[in-house]
A and B are shown apart, each in its own frame.
Chain A
Amino acid sequence: MSSNYVLEMENIDKSFNRVSVLKQAGIRLEKGEIHALLGENGAGKSTLMNILGGIFPADKGTIRVNGEQVEIVDPRTSQQLGISFIHQELNVVADLKVYENLFLGMERRNRFGLLKVEEMCRKTNEVLAELGVKIDPKAYVRQLDASYKQLIEIARALLQDSKIIIMDEPTTALTEHEVYRLFSLMKNLKAAKVSIIYISHKLKEIQEICDRYTVLRDGKVVGSGRMADQNLDAITKLMVGRSVSEERFIQQHEPGRKMLSVTGLTSPGLFRDINFTLHSGEILGFTGLAGDGRTELFESIFGFKKKPFGSIEVEGRSASINHPVQALQAGIGFVPKDRKENAIIKDLSVYHNMSISALSHFEQFGFLQPNLEKSRFHHFKETLNIKVHDPRVTIDKLSGGNQQKVVLAKWLEVDTPILVFDNPTQGIDIGAKREIYQMIVRLAEQGKAIIILSSEAPEILKVCHTIHVMYQGEITAKLKRDQATEDEIMKYATGSKREVEHIG
């Protein structure tokens, strides 16, 4: 008798260069369920899913689809078995139209080999209607929101009649309401008996949407069961092997001297009339939904974007910043978001990524001194707990959390009195997140003035003294830490409420 599992992966072993990544791992997926696959970075989630997606084979173990044992040798066989993999980075072609993306690689043609455009458009409309949305099939993908791009990938999966969809951190690039849209979509899929494997670090989301879970730690399955039977703390404990409490990290403090004050800062189309003041030892938070202009605001202050109108004063002196190097000279450091695109230089070694912004510290007689770089890195390796076997390897070989720590080390080496962190814990696991929060707080205690930008209100609440909420390029609220709650922040961030008083 066949089981009611659409997918069973059992006793999967996999090692790279004789380093064992998966040990007897596996997952069982029921028909029409949303199954959370959880674990810290490096726990083996991606490896397990890549085996399922046919990216590389398992060393050992069995995979059954609908009760039948299968051999997945390449992505194509995986696809033929009805498995679709929606990667973290969206695989859509921005310069093609919606229907062209949907049918990419499986275009419908008539007997002369010409494309049947109208038929493909009709089919696109049908599939999109199934998902409960209406988009013009002939619109260009580059004009769509990120969530719609995701939708196209999901629609592609449906078009291929996929019965199993793997989603790897689908909500990282999405705003709150886009996330809701995705979730209702996932519920529709579930009703249509499609099974979803959902990989995410955001436990709240998982609790909301998932039916069951499997937790991996160090390549082994350490727990699985029904979501409803477990609370988040217990699951977190399973993931990290220890309990992470929800405490706030900061202590009360006496604000020091004025470090940065911004008045009437405006950049047409990006942000309007921004005013705030930052003191040494203080942690300011900026939050809001996507498109609120906070990233653009600080990229402008840092000299990366066009110079804004208004005044920026650093330690009482007016600063004119046209290039990031002038921001650095004025005393502002900036850890950008989207680490891969903006922060790491992937062909440089870990050492060289650490030193790149402060090379004058490592020079003697005009020549770089590798020994200085090495000893300096070992200092940061200790203080920031960077896990790297051989720092001569290129930085892309490190896990996300460790990459981020190297980026932090780079800015600590520059040692600016003001540090801006944009989404500092993006895509890194709970353990490393905690370490990064602690480090930021420690920096503030040492007298640095710190600004954190984040779309995650709980993160902001944990570490900031004062929270600025932005909505469409304006600061709509300035909340003290003890007044602020997630609900309150949400109201200002969605524009449904705003402070009347002028903030300054």
Chain B
Amino acid sequence: MASPATQQESTEMSNRNRHLSWLWSEYSVIIAFVVIFVLASLLNPRFLDVNNQLNILMQVSIIGIVALGMTIVMLSGGIDLSVGSVLALVGVVSILSLNATGSILLAILTAFIVGAFAGLLNGLMVAKGRIASFIATLGMMAGARSIALYIADGGSISGEVSSFTVIANSELWIIDYPIIIFLVMTGLVYVLMQKTRFGRYVYAIGSNEKAALLSTIRVDRVKIGVYSLAGLLVSIAAIIETSRLNSISSSSSGQAYELDAIAAVIIGGTRMTGGRGKVLGTFFGVLILGILNNMMNLMNVSPHLQGFVKGLIIIVAVVFQKRE
């Protein structure tokens, strides 16, 4: 038998071990972020330059906002493949509205309505129609893109109100508006998911839908809310994307955004089947993807190879997270 002293020591040790493993399971993505950040700054001195840092944030802000919505959807146990197409459709329709009314406010409002409506349809199909989210949003992905192409006749359309570009091309001190919007949205979604009833319900549904229903949660309504909210976040991203160049391409805008968003969510540690994950994880997942892109650009890696590195990182991230 161990003496009291060594026993105490051993419980302390086990506490520390438990603490470490807890730290790892909760914050592995932040640790990974720090490692990649340090590596990047060692590999290239230009990386740490403030302008470069802001550039990274600027580049990830659109995908970042989309990924926030994706996080909510995936936490609820679903997936939304339609984000890229809906982004293009929202962009096209809001430019039409902008040009027709000349009002930026109305353009933004139109964007919100179209995005939220597409999300609402997704939600209705999933919750009421009992269609698997993968299928329902795959349909929306094809449908929304097609309508965008039809409206814009396959090409790009440009805004005729030049002040619309203010949204994406202004700075507060040295920080661009899209970055600020991304940070604010991250904060809002974080609060929504951690501090409100809605967030708690989303986690519960993603973890055990049947038990959630038997716990008297309005599962259908929450799900509809989840997809609508994701659509709304997509419309915010669409406004930024459109405002950047005051134009949107019906064919190429938003292309493969769903993959980048899902990648960021997965790297951030959210479980594919839902119920587990964090908004902050997604935030750092987005940053990791941004840093990787940036590094490869700085080091002149062929753009054709960048997808390979991204794919590798996703798989490595998931392999590490498996160890719980």
A interface vs B, CB < 8 Å?
17-19, 302, 304, 323-325, 327-328, 334, 336, 341-348, 352, 356-357, 359-360, 363, 366-368, 410, 414
Contacts and interface: CB of A to CB of B under 8 A. Distances in A.
Contacts of B214: 302, 304, 324, 334, 336, 342-343
Interface stretch (B43-51, B200-208, B298-306): B200-208
Given A345-B211, A356-B204, A368-B197, 4 more contacts: A324-B215, A342-B214, A344-B208, A357-B215
Interface in B177-228: 191, 195-197, 200, 203-204, 206-208, 210-218
Interface of B: 10-11, 13-14, 17-18, 191, 195-197, 200, 203-204, 206-208, 210-218, 275-276
A451 to B, nearest CB: 16
28 contacts: A17-B14, A19-B14, A304-B213, A304-B214, A324-B214, A324-B215, A324-B216, A334-B214, A336-B211, A341-B208, A342-B214, A343-B214, A345-B204, A346-B207, A346-B275, A347-B206, A348-B204, A348-B207, A352-B203, A352-B204, A356-B200, A356-B204, A356-B212, A356-B215, A357-B215, A359-B200, A368-B197, A368-B200
B213 A347 contact: no
Contacts of B217: 325, 356-357
A368 B196 contact: yes
Contacts, number: 81
B195 A348 contact: no
Contact of B215 (A341, A345, A347): A345
A347 B276 contact: yes
Given A17-B18, A341-B210, A368 B195 contact: yes
Contact of B196 (A325, A348, A356, A366): A366
B248 to A, nearest CB: 36
Contacts of A368: 195-197, 200
A345 B208 contact: yes
A327 B210 contact: no
Nearest to A367: B195
A26 B211 CA distance: 38
Contacts of A366: 196
B256 to A, nearest CB: 30
Contact of B14 (A18, A343, A346, A352): A18
Nearest to B204: A345
Contacts of A357: 215-217
B210 A342 contact: yes
B196 A343 contact: no
A327 B216 contact: yes
Contacts of B196: 366-368
A260 B256 CA distance: 56
Contacts of B215: 324, 345, 356-357, 410
Q: Top 3 closest A-B pairs, CB basis? A: A347-B207, A347-B275, A18-B14
A341 B211 contact: yes
A346 B208 contact: yes
Contacts of A347: 203, 206-208, 275-276
B197 A359 contact: yes
A323 B217 CA distance: 9
A100 B69 CA distance: 43
B75 to A, nearest CB: 10
A341 B207 CA distance: 10
A352 B10 CA distance: 31
Contacts of A356: 200, 204, 212, 215, 217
A345 B77 CA distance: 13
Contacts of A359: 197, 200
Contacts of B195: 367-368
B207 A343 contact: no
B15 to A, nearest CB: 9
Contacts of A363: 197
Nearest to A414: B216
B232 to A, nearest CB: 18
B192 to A, nearest CB: 10
A17 B195 CA distance: 32
Contact of B216 (A325, A341, A367): A325
